[in-house]
Amino acid sequence: MNARVFKPEAYLIEQQPYYEPISSEIELFEAAYHNQLPLLLKGPTGCGKTRFMEHMAWRLQRPLITVSCHDDLTASDLVGRFLVSGGDTVWVDGPLARAVRHGGICYLDEIVEARKDTTVVIHPLADDRRVLPIEKLGEILVSPAEFCLAMSYNPGYQSVLKDLKQSTRQRFVALEFDYPSPNLEAKIIGNETQIDAAVADKLVKFAHMTRHLKGNGLEEGASTRLLVHAAKLIVSGVNPNLACRSAIAQALTDDSEMLLAINELSVSLF
């Protein structure tokens, strides 16, 4: 899609996404946004970072353009490239350029998954310059006040090969996320699935059991997202142990001994 026919209203979130604040993340985000500061969301997989971004885009009434980062993501994927269309060569903006041109929120999800040379392109946007150089066009996009750059990553997956350089992370205001408190997590599961409160409480207890296994056979414990998946299966009539095995245990590991241990935890509760 050419930048001239891009419709930012298509990226507006019309209905309020359900989100329960864990701390002061909403106030911090709004303060950073109004001061034109970029944001870094840090937290484990499935704890609500993406839902939070949707909620904030709705609160601020700005288009939300999300990029799921991966190993093959290039700078051209973010900024744009020339393509042949109808016999003509036309320039097509990438998601980052679209967000800058139209004062949207660009959310780079799991930024450490992108190639390190790709993240350099965001540096001029993430400091006082707030510009996006497009070398192929000989153009420098100056971001409007409404533009916001946000990105997320999971510190639990940090390694020498997958970590943010200091030259990148020190440009951002960091918001730290974690799993909600047990009562709040049960409330979230209930709201998302309409499951019985007693069953929601058991799912939360089960999640905490798996989270205690992190570093002892599991890379991550059960996320709030996985609990919602299991709860939806249970509401649909699936046996709770089968739901936990399919939606949670199998999603966490392929190790047969660890699967057996996790399944035994669910049997102890259900």
pLDDT of the residue at 4 = 52
Q: Which residue has the tokens 């969301």?
A: 41
Rounded to a whole number of angstroms, the distance between the first and last alpha carbons of the chain is 51
User: Cβ(43)–Cβ(176) under 8 Å?
Assistant: yes
With cut-offs at 50, 70 and 90, classify the pLDDT of residue 157.
Answer: low
- pLDDT of 26-47, one tens digit each? 999 999 999 999 999 999 999 9
pLDDT of the residue at 161 = 54
Tell me how long the chain is: 270
- Read off the pLDDT of each residue in 134-146 and give the average, rounded to a whole number: 95
- Read off the pLDDT of each residue in 141-163 and give the average, rounded to a whole number: 83
Question: E strand or H helix at 129, and its extent?
Answer: none
- pLDDT of 214-249, one tens digit each? 888 898 999 999 999 999 999 999 999 999 999 999
Rounded Cα gap, residues 75 and 60, in angstroms = 28
Q: At 156, which amino acid appears?
A: G
The proportion of the chain whose per-residue pLDDT surpasses 70, expressed as a percent, equals 96
Rounded Cα gap, residues 184 and 263, in angstroms = 24
- Token pair for residue 252? 């966490």
Angle between helices 197-211 and 182-193 (to 10 degrees): 130
This prediction has a pTM of: 0.92
Strand partners, 80: 93
H helices present in 64-158, as ranges:
75-79, 95-101, 116-119
Nearest CA among 108, 41, 105 for reference residue 70 = 108
